[in-house]
A and B are shown apart, each in its own frame.
Chain A
Amino acid sequence: MTTMDNKKITQDTLLQGETDPLTSTPVHLLNLDKVGKHYGNIIALRDVTMAVDAGRVTCVLGDNGAGKSTLIKIIAGLHQHDEGTFTILGEDRKLSSPREALDSGIAAVYQDLAVVSLMPIWRNFFLGSELTTGVGPFKRLDVERMKQITKKELQDMGIDLRDVEQPIGQLSGGERQCVAIARAVHFGAKVLILDEPTAALGVKQSGVVLRYILQARDRGLGVIFITHNPHHAYPVGDRFLLLKRGKSIGYYNKKDITLEELTAQMAGGAELAELAHELEALGGHKDVVAEVEAEVEATESRRA
């Protein structure tokens, strides 16, 4: 992007002269340093270090139970961390509510929590932050303006829109995610947390959402993209944080890792080998076992 509009927070302002956002210590949009969280005696997360910058996508990868949700809950203000530091624009923070996170420019788009499906698109877009006109008892919704803005914002995201009056439940899963993203962008989010936006989507729809992630990035937002699919993360991500059982098992800049390595790290070669043995013990089909074994070999050779 050569032109900068007002909404874009420039990387220069943010990094104050630093050139490499990964190795630099100064001001990231968000920065987590050795963050940890425990619920009673259960350690949900420990030693997580990651950064988010404007116009960059930070991917958080991990299997179920890896601590992804705990991490985003800390960033989105639903939970507070117990260890380490969490800074927003260099300032040490502990967010106590989603509202406080929103006020700091952090918006989370949850997979299932995005919208109220029976309500029209424009009502959903402005839900909780409705525009009004008039005073006193005649204060009313500015319906026309809200419809217009909704239409425009969605067009800017490149969403080919049908009719803002239709219930949002009639949109496809990908489109709904996009409306939620466009909404967060419109209401001044600087950091966008996307919780598994592609998990429930088909191949084509996932592609659509990935494109919108890039759109949001190009508009100058810092994006945190949570997923368990390295094939979705790699093409759009700038940084990759890998979580496993509540611990960071890797934090890479894109230039330092290939898709194959990322996949291998995610899958965990040892676990695949174990799976092969289990299948054998169960007397599974020979060809399936052979396939898994081949996969293990391939993974190991890549690692070597």
Chain B
Amino acid sequence: MNHKTTPLPVILLLCSLNVLLGQQVTISGTVNDDSNGETLIGATILETTSGNGTSTNEYGFYSLALPLGNDTLTVEYSYVGFQTRRLRILPNKDRKVNVKLGTGIELQEVVVKANSYQEQIRSTEMSVEEITTREVKVIPALLGETDILKTIQLKPGIPSGSEGTTGLYVRGGGGDQNLIVLDEAVVYNANHLFGFFSTFNTDAIKDLKLYKGGFPAQYGGRLSSVIDVRMKEGNNQRFAGTGGIGLITSRLTLEGPIQKDKSSFIVSGRRTYADLITRQINKANEDKEDYTPIPDYYFYDLNTKVNFTLGEKDHLYLSGYFGRDVFNFNSDFFDFNFYWGNVTGTARWNHVFSPKLFANTTYTYSKYNYNIETKVTGFSFKIGSDVQDNNLKTDFYYALNNRHTLRFGVNTTHHQFGVGRLKAGSDDGEISFSGGNDYTGASFGAYLADEAAFGVHWKVNYGLRLSGFTNDNKFYAGVEPRLATVYNVNPDLSFKASYARMYQYLHLVTTSGIALPTDVWYPSTSKIRPQYSDQIAIGVEKVLGGKYLITNEYYVKWLNNQVDFVDGARLFANNDLESEFAIGRGYGYGLELSIEKQEGKLKGWIGYTLALVKRGKFEPLDASRNFSDAGNYFFPRYDRRHDVSVVAMYDLSKRITLSATVVYGSGDRTWMPVGRFTFQEVYGGDPQEFVPVFGERNAIRLPYFFRSDAAIVYRFFPKWGESDLTFSVFNLTNRRNAFFLYIEPQYENKDEPLENPIAIPTGLKLKQVSLFPIIGSITFNFKF
């Protein structure tokens, strides 16, 4: 142990625990991908005689206690998709063992291990879904744009919002209750183009882990999920590149060693290019007097990362993300410029104090903002909002022995919010409008968790997180107990249970089911109390024949201080936004069942979710405002009773991989009118023949959802590397899934309403609008 740098109280605590727990040695180190040096997160390390094991943490570090002795022990290192390595280790002293795993000659030739799910069965972790970019890249995608957030929706318990979007409604939680972090920095609006694409460029991402429940104590801040996205570190073995050309975007990633085995970099960019075409069309038509130019729209992402090994015990990672959506419409008389996006920055310092004690200290910066600037002759209008975080945290991982692993840490975040900053007026200053509010806040967290093993069958991870938030001269504190336990009946069967309380101090201001760039985050204030939730989950995990993992979980969840908005809420440009809030509660329960196969030529999963969610007891903060169905419980739009997804990936040969997905779900709910009245209006106004009278909130369920997609990846192996053509077909059966409904009046003569302002319709028809028919796409990908 490094006594020069470890805090004294920590040393005393840890030493006394060591004495109590007997004579052991520790092997520790990192597990990396042999081909590029990338750390492997969640790799399994198992001492084969006793069955004691552990897994690598988020930084690829592991620490395994072994009984002191002179008999050589076999330790097995494994990771899905990689060849297992067995090392013989003499446990007579602490040892540092860094291990590299290889994929073998080709992926499909990897020998399937007897039980590749061993660590998962043993772990107290439950309600967790993981996905790697390797899977994402072969699963069919809309317009060929692979997207890790959309792929994770295929897992049980994570219904999407609207079709084709990245919205996540985890176990009945709202779309604003997901903590999305990229290299530990919060991404406040992980969407491009109304959520049809996420901000995560698959080429730059290593993997994604989503917690639906059983939240570890190190996480806090949102009620319903934690989505931990990790960027690649960059190849520290050789210079390499990947890229692709698709219908929507092109991508290029370059990575390589700065100093082989010790440091590397990665730079990855992605950009849409429809604007390059529309600009040419506009240019060709610029002389035509009646021509209205096509607006410019594009988005781009830039991910960068460098990492340095600073000696035996220290590692430094610096990463950044910068993404923007840009929408411009410029003419001689009118300029409209709208841009929005995220910036994140992360600096992480890993330090190994001892074979047992690992620490990570992180500074992150996050910013999301949007700006709208409009100019017409003599006048201008600007409005924008932003949220900005500076976060500092430190996390310790202490593998005390093979019975106790401790995690503890603290964090603090300074938040800045600019909400609806507006400046408008005439160029001569005669007319002037302004508005908006600025807020600052700070959040705090401290946690301690112990994963304790009681014998060989039973493990408990118990912990406590203390959180706090201050703003508006008001301080809120949250006590968040966390508990997760596993009982291993045998290496193929375990029962699990968990409980977690979560607090959420920031609230998203939105009423739309679709991610809008103008959705802003708003802090808890003296009137708006923090949201909090309690979730209990129980489950069973069973490995069948060493190949199939069956997971069955049941959960119940209570949501408090839920945020919604009053009828006719004015959320855009409002100096008194709080008067638009309504506060209520909610609950949800359900079961999730999945069977998955992670290795072999055929891989994939089948998932089923049965769920119910309700929200209610909403009361407006401003008593003069109205909230429909106040006091009653109602179904939210995303209440999806049944949800089935089937994902299959098949390596037909070295060159060809086939994949298919099938998704079935109960239709989303919608809020429909039940009545209508005729509104005569004042003189000059536009009379309305039928004004809808909306009934109970979301009482109508849309027709069921069904979609099947398929893709073929055909690989080439030129001398310079590897490339592939990916053909994908989205919505193979060309089913028309409901995006929204509307009611259309019918007239004997369809031009009648134009000719006669009080034309009487012969009837009304209910129409369903779908977004996506069958869509084929082709993408060219390469790597060298």
Q: Is chain B found bound to chain A in the same assembly?
A: no
Taking beta carbons and an 8 Å cutoff, which residues of B are in contact with A? none
Taking beta carbons and an 8 Å cutoff, which residues of A are in contact with B? none
